[in-house]
Chain A
Amino acid sequence: MLRYTARRLLGAIPTLLVIVTLAFLLLHTAPGGPFDGAKRLLPEIQKSIEAKYHLDEPLWRQYLRYLGDLTRGDLGPSFQYRSTSVNEIIAQGLPVDATIGLTAMTLALAIGAAVGVNAALRRGTRWDYGSMALAVVGISTPVFVVAPLLILIFAIKLHWLPSGDWVRGSPSHLLLPAVALALPYTAYVARMMRGSTIEVLNSPFIRTARAKGLPLRLIVWRHALRPTLTPLVSFLGPAIAGLLTGSIVVESVFGLPGIGRYFITAALNRDYTLVIGITVLYGALIILFNLLADLCYAWIDPRVRLR
C-alpha cells in the first residue's frame, strides 16, 4: 500500500504540470492583460508596470520563471491585489473554506446517510417517499436561493444568527453558511445511500444472514453498512476537494473571506498568478482526495487489491 501511494503521488507531478501549463497558456491567450483598466494608461507607464511583473518578457521565459518559483512553493504576487502575494491569499482563505466545507460535509454525511438508510429500510412507505421528495427539492434548490432565505429567516426576522461575516472559532457565524452549503450534498448523500442500501440488502450475503435469523439491526450495522459506502466514497473524493476550495455563492452572500470567489474574479481581471495558483491547489486537492478514496476502497471492500 505504501508503494502504491508513493507511485500515485509521483504520478501526480506530470498531471499537475499539465494543469499549470494549460492554465498558463489559456490565460495568456485571453484578450487583455491585468493592467488594462477602464482608464487607459500612458504607454510608458503601462510598460514600466508590466516590466515590474516581468510581463514584458517572452512567454516561454515567463513560464519557466513561474515553474521555478512554483517548485520553491512561491505562487507569485497577485496582480489584482497589489502588494499581496497569492500564497498570502490562499493561506488566509483556505482555512475559512476548509472549516465551512468540512462542517457542511459532516452535516451532509450524518443527516444524509441516516435519512437514506432509513428510507431504504422502509422502502415503499410514506417515510421513504417523503424523504426522497425532500431530497429532490434539496438537490434542485440552488444555493443562491437557500442562502438568502436562511438569512431572511434567521438573521433579519428572528435575529438569532448573524447575517454574515467571519469570526474565527465562532459557531454562530459558521452555522448558516455551513447549512446552506450542506443542503444539496445532504440530499445527494441521502439518495445515494438509499440506492446502495437497497442494492446491498438484496445481495446474496445479506439474504444468507437473514436466513440465519440475525436481527435486522445487526445485519445493517455489521454487514450491510460497509459495502453501501462504496459509491459514497467515489463521490466524496472530488466533492471534498470542491468544498475545501470554497463556494462562490456562499462566500459572496455571507461576505466570507474564502478563495472560491477568485475562480471568477481573478480570471475576469486576468490575475494570472492568482488563477493558476488556485487552479493548481484545486488540482492537487482533487488528486489527493481521489487517492484517499482509492485507499478507502481497499478498506471497505476486501476484494479490492491496490497494486
Chain B
Amino acid sequence: MTAARRRAASACAACLIAGCGSVDSPSSAPEPSPASSITVGTALASVQSLSRALDDTPRSIDPQLATDVPGQRVLDDLFEGLTTIDVAGKASAGVASSWESSADGKTWVFHLRPDARWSNGAPLTAGDFVYSWRRMVDPGTGAEYAQGLAAIDNALEIAAGKKPTDTLGVEALDDHTLRVRLNGPTPYLLDLLAQQYMYPVYEPAITQYGDNWVRPEHLVCNGAFVLRENVLGSRMTLEKNDRYWDAAHVRLQRVVYYILTDGSAQVSRFLAGDVDWTDSFPANQRAWLKSALGEQVVNSPYFGNYMLGMNFAQPPFKDNLPLRRALVLALDRAPLARYMREGVYEPAYTLMPPLPDYQLPLPDWTGLSTEARYALARRLYAQAGYSDRHPLRLDLDATMLDTGSRHYLEAVAANWRSVLGAEVHIDEREFKVLLQELQLHKLLLFHDAWIGDYPDPYTFMQIFYTGNGNNHGGYSNPHFDQLIDAAGQEADAGKRFRLFEQAERLLNDDAAYIPLYYYATRHLVKPYLRGWQSNVMDRNLSRYMYLLEHQGR
C-alpha cells in the first residue's frame, strides 16, 4: 500500500463499504466449476480479450452528459477522475495521488500524478479538471446531473444561470495541484469524485469536433482503455490505453461491451460462450441458472431499495398514521421475497440498505411475531375507520412491470387483502406517465425505488426532505429536515451517521413509506474471469480483470 493509497483509505474510511458482503461470489482458487464443462488453469490466457454484456445502449459516453448505469460502466473504463473505484467498489486514488483537507472539511487540495496523460500523449493537468467541472455546471452544456456538483461552492447558482462559470469553487494552483472549495463538510467527497460526471474531458477535442468529439476517431480519454469502435445499439470495442499511468498493471488488451436489452439474450450469449460477464439476468430464471451454472451465478447486495410511496397531501393517507402503519405492518416480507422474487432480493425494513458503520434503525414492529404484528395491523386498520363492510379500496400505481415484479406486487395486494381485507388494485402505467403524475402529486399509493449514487445515507435521506423534487409523497417533518441539515454541517463521520439514524427513526415512526426489498446485483460470470469482485455499488472496472487459461465454454 503506497502512502497515497493509505491516505485515501483513512480519509474516507467512515463513508465507505468495508466489505463486499457477497452472498455467493466466485471462488478465488482456480478450479473447475461443478455444474459446467469449463476447466480453468492457473496461467494467464494467451488472448486477454473480455466480452461483457450491457443492459442497454449508453445514452451518452460524454462523461458530463451520461446519466445511466450502462454509460457509467463504459466511462469507468475510458476515463478516470481524481479518485477512482477499486476492485471492492471503494473510492481510491485515481488521477490524484494524494490530498489533504482543511479542519472544517470545506477546502480540499488534490495533488495530481505528474505522469497522468491523455490518450493522445498530452499531459493531464489541474486545468483540465477546472474546465470539465465548469462545463458540467454550465447551463449551455445541458447536463442533467449538474446538481451532482451541489457540494462545490456556487455550483447550483451557476447551473441556474445566476452566476458565471468561473465562480465555481475549483481552481488550479499549478499544473498538478487543484483546490476545491465546498459549501459544507462533505465526507463522501472522495466517492463523489469517482462519479462519471466528475471525470475530466479534453478541451481541444470538444472545441474542434463539438458533439462529435465522442466518436471513436476523435475521442481522447484518460482511463485504462480507449474507444476503438462504437456500433450504436450493438457493440462497443475498447482497447488498452498504453499511455494510462498504471498501464503496466492492466492485463486485458481488449474489452468488448455487447448491448443486450433482453435479459434472456444475455443468458443465451453467456451459455454459448460468447460473453464472459453479464450485466444481469432475469430474476425469475435464477433457480434453473443456479442448478445449471452453480457458482457462475452471482447475486450480492446492491445499494438500492424498492418501496411503495404514499401521498401525504390527500386522503386516505393524509393525517392518517394508523392506516399507513397498518399497511406497513400487514406484509410478510421474508416469504414475499423468497417465493415471489426467487430469493434474489432481501426483504427490507429500512430506507437505507445495509452500510458499514451505519446502524440500521429497525422499526419497533420488527420484534413482533407475525401473529402479533397482524393483530396490531388489524387494530390500526379499524382505528383508521375501515372494516370488512367498509374496506380500503385503492389503486397501486406502478410502471410497466416485468412478469416477476407484477407477480410480486399482486402478492403484496393479496397479503393486504388476507390480513386486512383491503382491496388494492395494481394499475400499470407507462414510465413517463407515472413520472408526470408523481411530480403533480396525483397518485395515492405508488411504486418507488431508489439507488444511491455513492455509499452515504444522504443519497437516500434527501428524498424525504421537504420540497425535494423526488419527495413524491409530499412527506414533510420539520424535525426530520433539521436533522438532515445538521448532518450536512457535521464534519465528524460518526456523529453524522448518528444524525441520519435518528432521522430514519422519524421516518419509521411516521410510516413515511412502505419498505419492500433491497436490490441485489445479478451477474453471470465465467469461472476463468478473475480480478473481479461483486460490490455494493455494482461498479466493476475492466482495469482489474484478467482471464485465466481455460477449456470449454
Contacts and interface: CB of A to CB of B under 8 A. Distances in A.
B59 A163 contact: no
B60 interface: yes
Contact of A252 (B145, B146, B265, B272): B265
A231 interface: no
A223 interface: no
B406 interface: no
Interface stretch (A32-40, A64-72, A127-135, A298-306): A32-40
B469 A41 contact: yes
A164 B265 CA distance: 9
A152 B259 CA distance: 19
Contact of A83 (B60, B233, B274): B60
A41 B147 contact: yes
A31 B435 CA distance: 9
A37 B65 CA distance: 13
B159 A45 contact: yes
A22 interface: no
A92 interface: yes
A23 to B, nearest CB: 17
Interface in B18-42: none
B469 A255 contact: no
B432 A166 contact: no
Contact of A41 (B59, B144, B211): B144
Given A36-B432, A82-B59, A166-B235, A49 B274 contact: no
B268 A45 contact: no
Contacts of B161: 44, 48
Interface range on chain B: under 10, 10 to 19, 20 to 34, or 35 or more? 35 or more
Contact of B140 (A38, A52, A151, A166): A52
A257 interface: yes
Contact of A32 (B146, B235, B262, B435): B435
Interface string B121-149: 00000000000000000011011111100
A81 B59 contact: yes
Nearest to A270: B432
Interface in A131-175: 148, 151-152, 155-156, 159, 162-166
A91 to B, nearest CB: 10
B305 to A, nearest CB: 14
Contacts of A152: 268
Of B156, B160, B262, B436, which is in contact with the most chain A CB atoms at under 10 Å from its CB? B262
Q: Can you list the 3 inter-chain pairs with the closest CB atoms, starting with the nearest?
A: A40-B469, A32-B432, A257-B234
Interface of A: 30-33, 35-42, 44-45, 48-49, 52-53, 77, 80-84, 88-89, 92-93, 148, 151-152, 155-156, 159, 162-166, 251-258, 261, 265, 268-270
20 contacts: A31-B433, A31-B437, A32-B435, A42-B147, A44-B160, A48-B139, A52-B140, A52-B142, A83-B60, A83-B62, A83-B211, A84-B232, A93-B233, A148-B268, A156-B271, A159-B553, A162-B272, A252-B261, A253-B264, A255-B235
